[in-house]
A = this chain, B = another copy of it.
Amino acid sequence: MDLKSFRPVSGLDLPRFAGIATFMRLPHIGLDDPRLVDVDIGLIGVPWDGGTTNRPGPRHAPRQLRDQSSMIRFENAVTRIVPYDLARCADLGDVGPNPADVADTLARITAFYDQVRDRGITPLSAGGDHLCTLPILRALARHRPLGMVHFDSHTDLYKSYFGGFLFTHGTPFRRAVEEGLLDPARVCMIGIRGSAYDFEDRDFATAVGIRVIPIDEFHARGVEDVMAEARSIAGTGETYVSYDIDFIDPAFAPGTGTPEVGGPNSYQALQVVRGLRGLDIVGADLMEVSPPFDPTGATAYLGANVLFELLCVLAECRARKTAS
């Protein structure tokens, strides 16, 4: 496996503020690039927020995340993982959305990820609002339901908005369960908090068997205990990881549309990802970073760190499966 062509540019060679910004300073390899056949893990931008019911902005996230990710180096200081030693990584570019049409955009996203899946590439996605996860799951879970570990302050399990509208960033996982893309018994949602219109979403979770760990339980038990349970729920089957940046307290991640105070700090934000090690992860995403509400870029920078932690876990998983 030729890893050398799929490494980031080093800041010791070209300063981190220089050069065209790609995810982690990786090579840009579009879907029509011949090098695509060699890619193991593809970082993909989904610049769309057509499902947002409140404050818009995540359509701008992939570009800002690329910019901030140029600050990240190669080696994980805690786990000592160097993902680029384990897998061939690349920036696959952005899915092209239609900002004026929800249905058309959902179809465009699924079509893009169908190609990624067919190539055997593990996708690591940067949204976009949380509705973007639904069309990704439609591609990745086409042939069987997946387990899921979901970090968020909201369940995104609501039935509908504004008098019956089914596709918003508050409904993707309701749809995913209904469409058979997720196996509820293998889904765990962590960090849920904030005031609520009602508890219809959590009643649905209970009814179908999704495990919801609210924030007070999270703070009381601590990261290690919670993540042990999450791993146990996801089990040994194929699992997706969806990370909403509003999982993190808004003092650490202000740039998002529906922040909820009282959340985890930035150290816990990284720890939970490290707690995914050992799972069989077939894809992951980071959603809801909103640059218009992130004037200093701090949220995108923390988000880029979360992406890097996810990349380390994905690379380790991919290497383990290749080896076995």
Chain A residues in contact with chain B, CB under 8 A?
10-22, 28, 45, 47, 49-57, 59-60, 62-63, 66-67, 71-78, 91, 93-102, 104, 161-163, 165, 167-168, 192-199, 214-216, 219, 249-252, 254, 258-259, 261-263, 265-267, 269-270, 292-293, 295-296, 298, 301-302, 305, 308
Inter-chain CA distance A254–B300, complex, in Å, is 13
Q: A214-B77, A295-B296 are known contacts. Are A15 and B267 too (CB-CB below 8 A)?
A: no
Closest CB-CB distance, A305 to chain B, in whole Å? Answer: 5
Residue of B nearest to A24 (CB): B195
> How far apart sit A11 and B196, CA to CA, in the bound complex (Å)?
10
**Residues on B with beta carbons closer than 8 Å to the beta carbon of A298:** 250-251, 254, 259
Expressed in whole angstroms, the minimum distance between the Cβ of A14 and any Cβ of chain B is 5
Q: Are B267 and A20 in contact, with the CB atoms below 8 A?
A: no
What is the bound-complex CA distance between A298 and B299, given in angstroms? Answer: 14
Contact of A75 among B97, B198, B308 (CB under 8 A): B198
CA distance A192 to B78 in the complex (A): 10
Chain B residue contacts of A167, Cβ below 8 A: 100
Which secondary structure dominates chain A's binding surface? loop
Q: Is the CB of A18 within 8 A of B96?
A: yes
Q: Are B259 and A301 in contact, CB atoms less than 8 angstroms apart?
A: yes
- Measured in the bound complex, the distance between the Cα atoms of B56 and A296 in whole Å is 15
A20 interface neighbour in B56, B94, B168, B199, Cβ under 8 Å: B94
The answer to whether A215 and B267 touch (CB under 8 A), given A21-B63, A56-B56, A165-B100, is: yes
Taking a contact as CB atoms closer than 8 A, the residue among B14, B162, B261, B305 that contacts A101 in the complex is B162
Q: Give the residue of B12, B197, B214, B266 whose beta carbon is less than 8 angstroms from that of A10.
A: B197
- Closest beta carbon of chain B to A25's beta carbon, Å: 12
CA distance A265 to B15 in the complex (A): 29
Closest to A249 in B: B266
30 contacts between A and B (CB under 8 A): A12-B197, A15-B59, A15-B162, A16-B54, A18-B45, A19-B93, A20-B91, A52-B99, A53-B100, A54-B71, A56-B56, A56-B59, A67-B67, A74-B195, A74-B196, A74-B198, A77-B195, A98-B162, A99-B162, A101-B165, A195-B305, A251-B251, A252-B261, A254-B296, A261-B266, A261-B269, A261-B270, A262-B267, A263-B267, A295-B296
Question: What residue of chain B has the Cβ atom nearest to residue A295's Cβ?
Answer: B295
The residue from B251, B254, B292 contacting A265, defined by CB atoms under 8 A apart? B251
- Within the complex, the shortest CB–CB distance from A16 to chain B, in Å, comes to 5
Q: Known: A20-B66, A76-B195, A197-B10. Is A57-B56 also a contact (CB below 8 A)?
A: yes
User: Given A20-B66, A99-B162, A292-B293 in contact, is the A196-B77 Cβ separation under 8 Å?
Assistant: yes
- Return chain B residues, CB-CB under 8 Å to A14: 94, 96
A296, B55: Cα distance in complex, Å: 13
